[in-house]
Amino acid sequence: MNIDMGIRWMELFNEKIQNEKDYLTQLDTPIGDSDHGNNMSRGMAHVVKAIEEQKPETLNELLKLITTNLLSKVGGASGPLYGSAFMGMMKAETAGEEWAKILKTGLENIQMRGKAEQGDKTMVDVWIAVVEAVENGELTHELIDEAVEATKPLKAKKGRASYVGDRSIGHIDPGAYSSGLLFHTMLRAEAE
């Protein structure tokens, strides 16, 4: 990952989020409060606007800009969680860590904030699968899709979806789906 790739990543992620905004909202309807599409769409619109205005020149500046915008512009649970992820990534980048370790620190920060474990039917399920695959150099689009799809049969243990209990079973977790988009676009930006 480098600054040009990072900017491209955020542009591609923003495009995906805007295109799939309605689907994200649809996923957040049976097991949530129907705002995940709006939350992510607002946050990512601010991220790309801030990139255009501030023109970050290093990966560290970019990660900081993403953190600030996600923390301040995305409401709900997902804003603080994605914000924590990018804050952890920024700190690991400052410490000179490699990309796999940077992503792992992002995951650790999500878990520090939200206390979700693997199998709780949250974005953490996707982050765990992706971090492990990146560490082993085997991240693929298929693996991301499988990790997202694997949240479907689970019963939610964290976040709003946990309020509906057994009725959360049979639905993909919205945050897992948006994290899937994040990592699909990371792979695409890295391949360009």
Token duo for residue 114 = 């939200």
- Contacting residue, 42, 64, 91, 158, with ligand ADP by CB under 6 A: 158
Of the candidates 67, 98, 74, the one whose C-alpha atom is nearest the C-alpha of residue 24 is 74
28 forms part of the interface with Mg ion (CB under 5 A):
yes
Which C-beta is closer to Mg ion: that of 6 or that of 180? 180
- Contacting residue, 103, 148, 173, 182, with ligand ADP by CB under 6 A: 173
44 forms part of the interface with ligand ADP (CB under 6 A):
no
16 forms part of the interface with ligand ADP (CB under 6 A):
no
- Binding partner selected for residue 175 from Mg ion, ligand ADP, none, CB under the kind-specific 5 to 8 Å limit: ligand ADP
Token duo for residue 163 = 């309020």
Query: Which of the stretches 3-11, 33-41, 87-95, 184-192 binds ligand ADP when contact is defined by CB under 6 A?
Result: 33-41
Query: Which of the stretches 10-18, 27-35, 85-93, 139-147 binds ligand ADP when contact is defined by CB under 6 A?
Result: 27-35
Dist CA 138 CA 119 (whole Å): 21
Q: Show the DSSP H helices in the chain as ranges.
A: 3-19, 21-27, 36-54, 59-73, 78-94, 99-114, 123-135, 141-149, 174-191
Of the candidates 176, 170, 175, the one whose C-alpha atom is nearest the C-alpha of residue 154 is 170
Question: 77 with 159: CB under 8 angstroms?
Answer: yes
Q: How many CB atoms lie within 10 A of CB 118?
A: 11
Smallest separation, CB 78 to ligand ADP (Å):
3
Q: Which residues contact Mg ion by CB under 5 A?
A: 28, 32-33, 35-36, 76
Binding residues for ligand ADP (CB under 6 A):
28, 32-33, 35-36, 39, 76-78, 81, 110, 114-116, 122-124, 158-160, 173-176
